Structure 1
Amino acid sequence: MRNQIRDEIESGRATTIVTRFPPEPNGFLHIGHAKSIWVNFGLAEQFGGRCHLRFDDTNPAKEEQAYIDAIQEDIRWLGYEWSGAVRFASDYFDQLYAWAQHLVREGKAYVDDLSPDEIREYRGTLTEPGRPSPYRDRGVEENLDLLERMRLGEFAEGSKVLRARIDMAAPNINLRDPILYRIRHAHHHQTGDAWKIYPSYDFTHGQSDAIEGITHSLCTLEFEDHRPLYEWFLAQLPVPSKPRQTEFARMNVNYTVTSKRKLKLLVDQDVVDGWDDPRMPTISGLRRRGYTPASLRKFCDMTGVSRAANVVDIAMLHFAIRSDLEDNAPRAMCVLNPLKVVLTNLTADHDEVFEVPGHPAREDMGTRRLPLTREIWIDREDFMEEPPKKFFRLAPGKEVRLRNGYVIRCDEVIKGDDGEIDALHCSVDFDTLGKNPEGRKVKGVIHWVSAEHGVPVEVRLYDNLFLDEAPDRDKDADFLDHLNPDSLVTVTGIAEPALANIEPEARYQFERVGYFCADRHACRDGKLVFNRTVGLKDSWAKIQKKQG
């Protein structure tokens, strides 16, 4: 696509590139929209052109101002800005209606009284031609009168439509007298009650592009079969410009659904906590989970632009954010499943402080202070009473290094009346700070937090929302049957004191655990809530290595 536009510019066939991003305001944007935003805004930026934001607001029954606001916020968060004011297809309703009248006068459109079911029946199939409606040959004056009465609201919804008169035997079903206007007695968020009829997407889109002087109408492959109709309207109407439609493959990611209808169902049935739930593939959900604008743009760049439909491995998305946060997220320690350790050879008032880097490779991130006290927390997974041969963490009589601190040895396991481990008694080797004494190797390194100074945090461990790679593969089955019951596990952890006063959306690598983000909504009034963005394990890098 870039090469095509470059050739057009070099040959003089194009001067200023004008693209557009035309979402329907009937839901939040998802990862597929991020790809379209990246394509449209990115190409305009690359070639010194403009990109418009235009809402395709032709179905008021499903549209809300909240969606309009969220879409604008998502685009800006991704780092893009549209050219000029926000545009709406409804801005052009008067012109579109005038062009509909033009088609009627030219004998290329008519008012049809067939019901929706009858229209589908008359349209035919992929192997059989359609049949003309009995109302197809109405006269021009009658059609104009009926159309105007439709506009004024004299007829019930579903009783009449305006259709183009093209070819009921066309191999492309989209050309078999498509619908231009439907009756909708619905209040519109932009035009109020001025209209009782609303144009179809096919009739609106190309003409809106022409009005705005769009040069490249870039859309996904499902609109390829609609391109002949797009071009037919432009050829039949006195439009001010002739944009060209070009298609590319849409973004499909495994373990995910991107159908707005299905995403809305997840929200309406309280399967998730709203459109920006961190398990949702929406841009706002990915943001709340901890993804960065740079990581989503990197992901789009990695997947590229082609006409070949494919499904992207979600591990590639994880790689994009992991590589960003590896370089840019400060480090911290947080114990998710706390087990108390008493360092018996420290006094009760021992309060030693280690000054450690905020990031191992970023001096600009400064340092942080880690207090060591007699009692600390470690993760229960870092201790085993009867460890297997290659368990290099803590065990009775074994040693590990506290990250950024001393080597300790487990001397005694303290259990409660129920037989469960309550605490470990360990001793500190004070000669091991920052070095390994000759003749003694300590392979294990574990993270820890001072019991006295640590701060409690709610940690939400998010996983894929679906267990199946293609949850909506079977059109006859319910995609909700593939929900992952463990897509959200909430634990109470203990974090190092440096995290006590962080801002919402602050991102950290919890050392040895993964990458986490302070929840943009719940992290308020002293409450600390972290969402797991992604783990430390890089499965995509392993996949690439195997393929390489």
Structure 2
Amino acid sequence: LGSWIAAPPCCCVQVQVVQGFAYAPNFITKTIAETTGQEPLLMPGTGLGPNSSSEDEPQNKGQLQLQPITTRFPPEPNGYLHLGHAKAISFNFAVSRMFSNGKCHMRLDDTNPSKEGQEYVDSILEDVRWIQSGITDNNSGGKDKELLEEDKGPWFGPVRKTSDYFELIHDCAVALIESGHAYVDSLTPEEMREYRGTLTEPGTPSPYASSRSVEENRAMFQDMRSGTYPDGTHVVRARIDMASPNLNLRDPVLYRIKHESHQATGDAWCIYPMYDFSHPISDAIEGITHSLCTLEFEDHRPLYDWTIDTLNQVSPHLLNGAKPRQIEFSRLNVKYTVLSKRKLIQLVTGKHVHGWDDPRMPTLSGFRRRGVPPAALRLFCERVGISKADSNIDFGDLENCIREEMDGTKPRAFCILQPLQITLSNWPNGEEMEDFEVPRHPKIPEMGDRTIPFGKKLYIERSDFFDSEGAEGSASKGRPPKGFKRLVPGGKVRLKYAYVISCDEIKRDPDTNEPVELVCSYHPETRAGFTPEGEKRVPGIIQWVESTSCIKARVNQYDRLFKEVEPGKDSGDYLMDLNPKSFEKFSGVAIEPSVSLDAMAIMSEIRDQEEFGPADDNEDKLYPSQVAYQFERNGYFAL
């Protein structure tokens, strides 16, 4: 069957779920409405207001000629997306859906070839498609027959890359140089830091800022592009204000030399723009109306505005006068985890986890491998909301969203993690079995029934038997724990959906004295929950599987990766706060046979999808972990 991955144990919380959509934050939509005159749609995700009578009739009839609200998600392809990115994805796509004709672009900020690669590009696109799966609207690039297969997704149009605009970004740098707003600097990195000044002391202009003419700067920049100079010898800097209280405005670097092959452009370039330069230009090129980003970019906004305003002044034809508006919100912080890309890389390279998709990792691929539905992450982002105030969200809030989503969508099954054999001495049918038809979900009859075989030999969970005559009994003077209502020597227990059994004899391992088999008798008159008149109801109910028909599997059970609320805060080293019990492996696990049917079905569908492609442009990619169950009394598990 394969490896089953444990999700958090069940503790069902009944909260109304908004399916398929993470609502846009009020303060952002309010800001957009106030500055553009466009009101958000009343029914998010549908494209229709409550009084609309036609699918083609927009809610805001007077806004048809207004510029579409356009957002974007622009990660750098130098790592795997994590839970913090899920929030950014959810809100960028949500904001675009809340406005008539809104769009959300997918752009890869690929300006640093030394840290980027195709592996990260592929994983990012897969993660964005996955977390937005189940949401379909008119912005879906996947519906565009003209797009290449690798460009299709929930975003508008093709996948865009900053490298697509390298030539135009270069022209923007030339325009700034020719207008005297930028120059080539030859200070060493150490000298540049010294000249920059501090938060309390102004910086000192570079001697190269005034010693070189516009013509010299233009010629040197051309030589930089031609590969004349080695790495680190020259940079292009903006000429702004070395005395500015905002350090980002003290003649920031716009271009640097890097003789490295680029995963998209190859060796066509040996100079690359800095993020703070390429970012606002790329937004302007694409017609992004609103750049939604986290608060650490708030101090960078004056530089973005200076870049666009200056270019629109000296060379208005380059960007056609476009000027995106930036709105900042607080980043996501979650207790018992780390979301720093640097720390996540250390966890992987240091082999503290089993790769980027380790189910304990807060990466989207890790959540997917764990069997977490994307709708659960969207629900979490919706409930966290968005503001400018920092907060540290409890990890339990995320687990509640996962449980809530899975409780309403995943069937139940019996799974015995640590099997103890039961032999029914009075079973009259020899090796023949009896089938029980039981619901796949007790609250959702539409899910149908499943068949559980019952026979002479069964397995129950070892923890469901208290060995009062063994080691655990010796430690407690033969008394089971308070409230224990399951099986004891000479006692009775009900097997769920089946019969009451009595424990008559214990067979033990001669070396360890541990019980290896319980010889029991079953009570045929108690079938399917019936208690005969005059007999006392048996209070304990346990799960079971028939031993000859069950599936044998390996189960990996996962817990939180860190044992401290804020890893590293007290210890000084977040690695010291790793939870040594975050991963537990069970072998020889016994699972009811109905589970194998679902597993084989989805594996067959996955093979067909890989061989023949999706059935249509709206079909989402299938994953084995979509086969998930609530293994009763053990929690949620996925293939």
What is the TM-score when the length of structure 2 is the normalising length? 0.79
1:226 corresponds to: 300
2:489 and 2:583 map into 1 onto residues whose CA distance is 34
Which of 101, 104, 108 is the matching residue for 2:181?
108
Counterpart residue type for residue 516 of structure 1: F
Counterpart residue type for residue 394 of structure 1: L
Which of 566, 573, 578 is the matching residue for 1:483?
578
1:38 corresponds to: 90
Question: In the superposition, relative to structure 1, how do residues 211 and 309 fare at CA in structure 2: closer, same or farther (>3 Å)?
Answer: same
Q: Report the Cα offset of residue 148 of structure 1.
A: 1.1
Counterpart residue type for residue 457 of structure 2: E
2:482 and 2:404 map into 1 onto residues whose CA distance is 33
1:118 corresponds to: 191
Counterpart residue type for residue 187 of structure 1: S
2:371 and 2:365 map into 1 onto residues whose CA distance is 10
The reply to whether residue 407 of structure 1 matches residue 489 of structure 2 is no
Residue pairs, 1:432-511, within 5 angstroms: 432-433=526-527, 434-437=529-532, 438-473=534-569, 477-492=572-587, 493-501=589-597, 502=599, 503=602, 504-505=624-625, 506-511=627-632
2:132 and 2:574 map into 1 onto residues whose CA distance is 33
Greater Cα shift, 256-265 or 43-52: 256-265
2:31 and 2:205 map into 1 onto residues whose CA distance is 40
Q: Report the Cα offset of residue 355 of structure 1.
A: 0.7
Deviations 1:469-512 (A, max 9, x none): 222436x9332222222221110210001122313220111111
Which of 101, 107, 113 is the matching residue for 1:60?
113
The reply to whether residue 397 of structure 1 matches residue 449 of structure 2 is no
Counterpart residue type for residue 81 of structure 2: L
Q: Report the Cα offset of residue 47 of structure 1.
A: 1.1
1:216 corresponds to: 290
Residue pairs, 1:214-363, within 5 angstroms: 214-238=288-312, 239-240=319-320, 241-347=322-428, 348-363=430-445
Counterpart residue type for residue 434 of structure 2: E
| Higher relative contact order (Cα pairs below 8 Å, separated by 6+ residues) | 2
2:486 and 2:204 map into 1 onto residues whose CA distance is 76
2:271 corresponds to: 197
1:315 and 1:357 map into 2 onto residues whose CA distance is 29
1:528 corresponds to: none
- Residues 276 and 288 of structure 1 are in contact (CA less than 8 Å); yes or no, is this contact kept in structure 2? yes
Query: Secondary structure of the residue that 1:427 maps to in structure 2?
Result: strand
- Residues 71 and 93 of structure 2 are in contact (CA less than 8 Å); yes or no, is this contact kept in structure 1? yes
Q: Report the Cα offset of residue 364 of structure 1.
A: 2.3
2:630 and 2:584 map into 1 onto residues whose CA distance is 19
1:260 and 1:415 map into 2 onto residues whose CA distance is 52
The reply to whether residue 421 of structure 1 matches residue 515 of structure 2 is yes
Which of 110, 132, 149 is the matching residue for 1:79?
132
Counterpart residue type for residue 519 of structure 2: H
- Residues 397 and 411 of structure 1 are in contact (CA less than 8 Å); yes or no, is this contact kept in structure 2? yes
Question: In the superposition, relative to structure 1, how do residues 395 and 9 fare at CA in structure 2: closer, same or farther (>3 Å)?
Answer: farther
Q: Report the Cα offset of residue 36 of structure 1.
A: 0.5
Identity of aligned residues (%): 51
Counterpart residue type for residue 4 of structure 1: T
Q: Report the Cα offset of residue 350 of structure 1.
A: 4.0
1:436 and 1:171 map into 2 onto residues whose CA distance is 81
Q: Report the Cα offset of residue 441 of structure 1.
A: 2.8
1:545 corresponds to: none
- Residues 489 and 503 of structure 2 are in contact (CA less than 8 Å); yes or no, is this contact kept in structure 1? yes
Query: Secondary structure of the residue that 2:37 maps to in structure 1?
Result: helix
Which of 247, 253, 267 is the matching residue for 1:173?
247
Which of 148, 161, 167 is the matching residue for 1:94?
167
1:50 and 1:457 map into 2 onto residues whose CA distance is 46
Q: Report the Cα offset of residue 144 of structure 1.
A: 1.0
Which of 21, 30, 36 is the matching residue for 2:73?
21
- Residues 486 and 542 of structure 2 are in contact (CA less than 8 Å); yes or no, is this contact kept in structure 1? yes
Deviations 1:96-136 (A, max 9, x none): 11111111122211111111122122212212221221212
1:14 and 1:302 map into 2 onto residues whose CA distance is 31
2:373 and 2:482 map into 1 onto residues whose CA distance is 40
Counterpart residue type for residue 290 of structure 2: H
1:158 and 1:436 map into 2 onto residues whose CA distance is 84
- Residues 9 and 15 of structure 1 are in contact (CA less than 8 Å); yes or no, is this contact kept in structure 2? no
Deviations 1:7-32 (A, max 9, x none): 43348796410001001011111111
The reply to whether residue 517 of structure 1 matches residue 638 of structure 2 is yes
Q: Which segments of 5 or more consecutive residues in structure 1 lack a partner in the other structure? A: 519-548
2:85 and 2:380 map into 1 onto residues whose CA distance is 13
Counterpart residue type for residue 482 of structure 1: D
Query: Secondary structure of the residue that 1:159 maps to in structure 2?
Result: coil
Question: In the superposition, relative to structure 1, how do residues 472 and 222 fare at CA in structure 2: closer, same or farther (>3 Å)?
Answer: farther
2:184 and 2:440 map into 1 onto residues whose CA distance is 69
Query: Secondary structure of the residue that 1:409 maps to in structure 2?
Result: strand
1:211 and 1:412 map into 2 onto residues whose CA distance is 79
- Residues 38 and 99 of structure 2 are in contact (CA less than 8 Å); yes or no, is this contact kept in structure 1? no
Query: Secondary structure of the residue that 1:23 maps to in structure 2?
Result: coil
Question: In the superposition, relative to structure 1, how do residues 271 and 181 fare at CA in structure 2: closer, same or farther (>3 Å)?
Answer: same
- Residues 249 and 309 of structure 1 are in contact (CA less than 8 Å); yes or no, is this contact kept in structure 2? yes
- Residues 336 and 491 of structure 1 are in contact (CA less than 8 Å); yes or no, is this contact kept in structure 2? yes
What is the TM-score when the length of structure 1 is the normalising length? 0.91
The reply to whether residue 157 of structure 1 matches residue 240 of structure 2 is no
Deviations 1:418-466 (A, max 9, x none): 2111111222122222223455132211111111111101101011112
Query: Secondary structure of the residue that 1:217 maps to in structure 2?
Result: strand
1:244 and 1:389 map into 2 onto residues whose CA distance is 63
Greater Cα shift, 433-442 or 412-421: 433-442
1:2 and 1:426 map into 2 onto residues whose CA distance is 66
2:568 and 2:160 map into 1 onto residues whose CA distance is 34
Q: Which segments of 5 or more consecutive residues in structure 2 lack a partner in the other structure? A: 1-27, 40-62, 134-153, 313-318, 469-479, 603-623
